[in-house]
Amino acid sequence: MALPEISLNPLSKVQAPSAALLAFFQAEPKEKGKEKKEEVVTHDLPVFAGKKIKELSDLENYLKGANCFWGKKNETLLIRAYRFGTASNLGLIGLGKKTALDTDTLRQVGAATYHFQKKEHLKDVTLDIQSILNTVRESKRAYSLQAFCEGYLLASYDYREFKKEDKSLFYPQGIELVGLKGKDFEKARDKARALVESIFFTRLLGDKPGNALTPKELARLCQEMARSNGLTCQILGAKEMEKEGMGLLLGVAKGSAQEPQLIVMEHKGGRKTDRPFVMVGKGVTFDSGGISLKPSDRMEEMKYDMMGAATVAGVMQACAKLKLPVNVIGYIGAVENMPGGKAQKPGDIQRSVSGKTVEITNTDAEGRLVLADVLEYAQKQNPQAIVDFATLTGAVIVALGTVTTGIMGTHKGLIGVIKAASEATDERVWELPLYDEYEEDLKSHYADIRNSGGREAGSQKGGTFLKFFMDKKYPWVHFDIAGSASHRKDRNYFSSKHGAGVMVRLMAHLLQNWKTLK
């Protein structure tokens, strides 16, 4: 499905749009009466975001009588057969409180605009975007426009690969944003589009069912994306991984008829002599739990256990589309975790790339085994820094819910730039500690380490396990996206039924502004 178009024009070029849209700030309550018994709360009319226009007084009189729109954030109203300029319908969009207007509010307003347009079957609309941006500091207007465009485009995602074609479905063709002129605004719009295309690739990979996204199919799609965007891509199969000594990853794959794949994508945006920034993604295309079988309830959602891999793929696409000025290598360990006759068993001991041994006490703690081997393999590239993404633990959902990604790592500087990128892009992260005490619960009588400990601090123990395979000289951070990667209800540019595509925006910002760590 093609993304809707966003055009920027100083004056409207659409001769007769389906509707003209106007944005309003929320009406603020006023208290009347000094004594509590007499206290009455009334509301002013919502405040138009732009300058006074001659048609506004008639609209204000209409709203006074109708008592139907207050300008709350993401509130929408269509007044049909209300002529405004050349449009025969008028749409009102709420911005919320003026004092609370920020980039994520604009992202949500963009999404609300698309949803409104789709609901009301408005093929093309015009929006006086300058009236909104004039309330923003001039230096932030381009990025504010980018945020609005991101929200509008992100809201258009709809995964229908296996649904019968329904010609009655309506999708808006686009929106004309009026009042803007300049290359900075055009670049902001185009950057939003490139980011959203990359996020949609992440979402698409996650939403595919396990039978349609085997490890080999994931490898093929990544290879296809890489070829289309000028990235290099190498695929290693089981035999090549055996030669590299990837006993942990191959152990996870033993119970499945699907061959595991190691996908390596490279973006060469920096100088030839620059060491690469490395990303690693957990790509368990379906996770049954293996011999430590998961409960059947909601097991179908385990197709999303490869969202770490999808994140890496989306970031790599963004690196190419945005021509980010840094060398980046993305690694994906793609496997299927099944309880077949050859599956590894609790109590088995496997060996990693570097020869470290792991006692498997829970075959459902498989993602960390995949990551451990790929992390050790990736360190051979002598990276500037290394991050990994994984739907690693249910414990992170208990701790942080779905609205925040848990992060933990070994380098304060790297954690600091990730937090700064989080603030800049409104992709929330929260640091969890990796205390030495967590190591006690991962000690094994029979191997160097075991892959599962007790229930307490489950996310941190997962991170502690990964830390065991990291050379201390490399800055490293682990992103546990188990809660934030799919089925999000907290923002209207996500979907409660689809993958979210988190951390692509954050990582693109981080890499765009990357500086060598001290």
- Residues known to be catalytic: 294, 368
Radius of gyration (C-alpha) of the chain in whole angstroms? 25
Contact 107, 37 (CB under 8 A): no
Q: Tokens 């709203």 identify what position?
A: 63
Close Cβ partners of 437 (under 8 Å, ≥ 6 residues apart): none
Pairing of strands 449-450, 357-359: parallel
DSSP code of residue 326: S
Contact 301, 352 (CB under 8 A): no
Pairing of strands 476-480, 405-409: antiparallel
Give the distance, in angstroms, between the CA of residue 160 and the centroid of all CA atoms in the same chain: 20
Q: Is 435 helix (H, G, I), strand (E, B) or coil?
A: coil
Region at 120 (left for phi over 0; alpha for psi -120 to 50; beta for the rest): alpha
DSSP code of residue 274: S
Distance from C-alpha of 335 to C-alpha of 418, rounded to nearest angstrom:
28
Structure token pair of residue 113: 């605009």
Distance from C-alpha of 234 to C-alpha of 223, rounded to nearest angstrom:
8
Region at 317 (left for phi over 0; alpha for psi -120 to 50; beta for the rest): alpha
Q: Which of 438, 477, 476 is nearest to 458 (CA)?
A: 438
Distance from C-alpha of 305 to C-alpha of 392, rounded to nearest angstrom:
8
Distance from C-alpha of 332 to C-alpha of 296, rounded to nearest angstrom:
27
